[in-house]
Amino acid sequence: MVEKAAILTAVKKALEAAPERKFGESVELAFNLKNVDLTIPKNRVDEEVQLPKGRGKAPKVAVFASGELAARARAVADVVVVPEQIDELSGDKRRARKLANEMGYFVAEAPLMPTIGRTLGTVLGPRGKMPRPMPPAGDPAAIVRNLKNTVRVRSRDRRTFHAAIGTRQMTAEDLTENAFLIIDRVVKKLERGEQNIASIFVKTTMGPSEKVM
């Protein structure tokens, strides 16, 4: 397993080498896999990782809910969609696609899941954004808070894929903690562990890459 010291060195080099930008850059890992057939779905990486040091810039979270649950969700979610609005979105694909692209995650009151699947599944499904079900008595605050610190690490059928570990405004040490956890999760997911990894690099959005391993 790659040592934290090696990750920290690479992160510091990547931050130092990247010119200052007028926007908040993300920092990400780039994985390159080997000796793995990603045309077979079970070999693909698709993990949700809750980052110990947060994402720096939290993704937006939308909640599908009704009644009291919708009222509680409004205090914590970026968008709340009530049942009567689901059909409206279904009839306006452009608006539905815009919502799907703007939100990082969706949560839905469990009884609404069949309706969402039937009406919005063709928009949310291909983007990997089908909602996480939540019981009517669930706590939307806890769920939304966790999702705002979560990243999805997804290879699909490509041997090279990226995973965000935070933003440039975060410390190198915090970025390292996040990177270490993501690497650990990817290694554990792969059939042959580290032997399936050709290389790992770290970089800012527009900066040069630094090799981690």
In DSSP notation, 82-144 reads: -HHHHHHHHT-HHHHHHHHHH-SEEEEEGGGHHHHHHHHHHHHGGGT-PPEEE-TTS-HHHHH
Is residue 77 located within the same domain as residue 136? yes
Domain boundary among 94, 124, 147: 147
Please tell me the distance from the alpha carbon of residue 135 to that of residue 108, in angstroms, as a whole number.
8
Count of Cβ atoms closer than 10 Å to residue 38 Cβ: 15
Q: What percent of the chain has pLDDT over 90?
A: 92
- pLDDT of res. 24: 80
Q: Per-residue pLDDT tens for 114-141?
A: 999 999 999 999 998 999 999 888 899 9
Sheet holding 61-64, edge to edge: 79-81, 61-64, 105-109, 132-134
pTM of the predicted structure, to 2 decimals: 0.86
Please tell me the distance from the alpha carbon of residue 53 to that of residue 178, in angstroms, as a whole number.
6
- pLDDT of res. 44: 96
- pLDDT of res. 169: 92
3 state DSSP class of 187: helix
Residue linked to tokens 């080498």 = 17
Q: What pLDDT band is residue 159 in, cutting at 50, 70 and 90?
A: very high
What is the domain-level CATH number for residue 124? 3.40.50.790
- pLDDT of res. 150: 95
Asked if pLDDT for residue 188 goes beyond 90, the answer is yes
Is residue 76 located within the same domain as residue 178? no
Is residue 69 located within the same domain as residue 47? no
- pLDDT of res. 136: 84
Residue linked to tokens 């939308």 = 62
- pLDDT of res. 38: 95
Give me the domain span that covers residue 108.
Answer: 61-147
The average pLDDT across 16-36 equals 92
Q: Per-residue pLDDT tens for 40-84?
A: 999 999 999 999 999 999 999 999 999 999 999 999 999 999 999
